[in-house]
Amino acid sequence: MPAEGTAFVHDNAPETSFITDLIELVRRHGITIDDVLSLFRRYSANICTEDMSSSGEFDLLVYFGDSLPDDYRYCFSVDDDFGCCHISYHRFIPEDYAELGF
């Protein structure tokens, strides 16, 4: 993205958005999946979850059932190494997620 595009997003994006809150949450250590789900529920009562731990790729799929505030598919992994829990995620548009074939 060119510098002009980055500046436009910075100047025009709302200060508080779901993705901003999600990034702030997952950058901390010691959070849980319940913390993540609570954040999703702050933005919508219509969230969908699917246990994906048997996929070998990630632990939980979460998305907004009514596509509000967004239509992404969030794939969360929980790493509990040496007593320190850390959650990471990837997000995909629905079409790209479907191509993954889970």
| DSSP string for residues in 36-60 | HHHHHHHH-S-EEEEE-GGGSS-SE
Residue 75 is predicted with a pLDDT of: 98
C-alpha span between 2 and 56 (Å, rounded):
36
Residue 71 is predicted with a pLDDT of: 96
Nearest CA to 32 out of 62, 76, 65 is that of 76
pLDDT tens for 41-73 read 999 999 999 999 999 999 999 999 999 999 999
Q: What is this structure's pTM?
A: 0.81
What percent of the chain stands above pLDDT 90? 71
3-class DSSP state of 11: helix
